[in-house]
Structure 1
Amino acid sequence: MKTIAKITALMATVVVAAPAFAATQATLKLTGAVPAATYITIASTNVETGAIEQAYTIDSTKLTTAGTNQVDNIAYVFETSNRKAGYTVTASSAHNGKLTMDDSNASDAAAINYSLLYNGQEKSLSSSQTVTDVSSLSQKTTATKSVGLKITGNANALEGTYKDTVTFTITAK
Structure 2
Amino acid sequence: MKRIAMLLLLTAGITAGAFAQTTGTLTLQGTVPGILSITVTPAGAASNLDLTTDVSNLTVATVTERSNQKAGYTVTVQSANAAASGGNTAYFESTDAAVSDTLNYTLTYGGTPVSFTSGLATVTDTTSKTLGTGTTKNLNISYTGSTNFLTASTYQDTLTFTITAK
**Class of the TM-score when normalised by the shorter of the 2 chains:** 0.7 to 0.9
SS, match of residue 130 in structure 1: strand
The answer to whether the 8 A contact 1:84-1:139 is kept is: no
- Letter of the 1:95 partner, please give it: N
The answer to whether the 8 A contact 2:57-2:140 is kept is: yes
Quick one: structure 1 residues 138 and 115, their matched pair in 2 at CA, closer, same or farther if it must change by over 3 Å?
Answer: closer
The answer to whether the 8 A contact 1:92-1:166 is kept is: yes
Shift of residue 25, structure 1, vs aligned partner: 2.3
Query: What is the CA–CA distance in structure 2 between the aligned matches of 1:70 and 1:151, rounded to whole Å?
Result: 7
- Letter of the 2:26 partner, please give it: L
RMSD (Å), alpha carbons = 2.8
TM-score (norm 1): 0.71
Quick one: structure 1 residues 45 and 141, their matched pair in 2 at CA, closer, same or farther if it must change by over 3 Å?
Answer: closer
Aligned residues: 146
Quick one: structure 1 residues 25 and 104, their matched pair in 2 at CA, closer, same or farther if it must change by over 3 Å?
Answer: farther
Q: Specify every segment of 5 or more residues in structure 2 that has no aligned partner in the other structure, as ranges.
A: 1-10, 83-89
Residue number in structure 1 paired with 2:8: none
Residue number in structure 1 paired with 2:92: 99
- Letter of the 1:60 partner, please give it: L
- Letter of the 2:123 partner, please give it: V
Residue number in structure 2 paired with 1:117: 108
Alignment of 1:70-149 (within 5 A): 70-96=56-82, 97-102=90-95, 110-125=101-116, 126-137=118-129, 140-149=132-141
Quick one: structure 1 residues 166 and 138, their matched pair in 2 at CA, closer, same or farther if it must change by over 3 Å?
Answer: closer
TM-score (norm 2): 0.74
Runs of 4+ in 1 over 4 A off after TM superposition: 16-19
Query: What is the CA–CA distance in structure 1 between the aligned matches of 2:161 and 2:121, rounded to whole Å?
Result: 10
Q: Specify every segment of 5 or more residues in structure 1 that has no aligned partner in the other structure, as ranges.
A: 1-12, 48-54
SS, match of residue 61 in structure 1: coil
Shift of residue 92, structure 1, vs aligned partner: 0.4
Query: What is the CA–CA distance in structure 2 between the aligned matches of 1:94 and 1:138, rounded to whole Å?
Result: 28
Shift of residue 121, structure 1, vs aligned partner: 1.0
Shift of residue 60, structure 1, vs aligned partner: 2.7
2:23 to 22, 25, 33: 25
State, as a whole percentage, how many aligned pairs show the same letter.
Answer: 41
SS, match of residue 47 in structure 2: coil
Query: What is the CA–CA distance in structure 1 between the aligned matches of 2:102 and 2:36, rounded to whole Å?
Result: 35
The answer to whether the 8 A contact 1:82-1:141 is kept is: no
Residue number in structure 1 paired with 2:165: 172
